[in-house]
Amino acid sequence: MKSKRIFITIFSVAAFAVGCKPTDSPPPANNPPSPQLDQVKKETREALQATKAYAYAQKAEFVESMKIELAALDKEIEALAVKVENSSAATKEEAKAKLQALRVRTAGLNKELDGVKDATEATWEDVKAGFKKGYDEAKDAFNQARQWLSDKIEPSSGQ
């Protein structure tokens, strides 16, 4: 996303530089901006709007992709729950609380994903970034819970 914006900016600057004709004398300091400069500014604004519109057009693909990611995370949580059932009573009690917290978090992300669907072009980038951050945090929490459970189960199974 940022690379597209950078590309458009560089392209606009290059177009501006190529379009400028050198003069023998510098223009007076109190002259208004040239029509060329106004045109370049207009084209840059239009290119930026086109980039935003393209990103917004990708919203449906993002939502579908995140639905798949959340479904996969839910499956992983359920697989972890199966391992919990085969653990000691103390571990099982603590692990069930961790799993419940993960389920609540993913349910919240599913609701938030519905909000992502309703994002406008003006709010899209912020909504998308907020959802991604929440998803990344949920994925990290899952990985920590999986590691914690692995540490609890593995040592006891080796004894």
Query: Following DSSP, what letter does each residue of 69-132 receive, concatenated?
Result: HHHHHHHHHHHHHHHHHTS-HHHHHHHHHHHHHHHHHHHHHHHHHHHHHT--TTTHHHHHHHHH
Q: Is the pLDDT of residue 3 over 70?
A: no
Q: Which residue has the higher pLDDT, 55 or 76?
A: 76
Amino acid at 40: V
Question: Averaged over 78-96, what is the pLDDT?
Answer: 87
Pair 141, 105: CB distance under 8 Å: yes
The pTM (predicted TM-score) of the whole model is: 0.60
Question: Averaged over 84-113, what is the pLDDT?
Answer: 90
* Separation CA 46–CA 82 (nearest Å): 54
Q: Which band of pLDDT confidence, cut at 50, 70 and 90, is reported for residue 78?
A: very high
Q: Is the pLDDT of residue 15 over 80?
A: no
Q: Is the pLDDT of residue 102 over 80?
A: yes
User: In this predicted structure, what is the pLDDT of residue 69?
Assistant: 93
User: In this predicted structure, what is the pLDDT of residue 59?
Assistant: 85
* Separation CA 107–CA 158 (nearest Å): 35
Q: What are residue 19's phi and psi, to 5 degrees? A: -75, -20
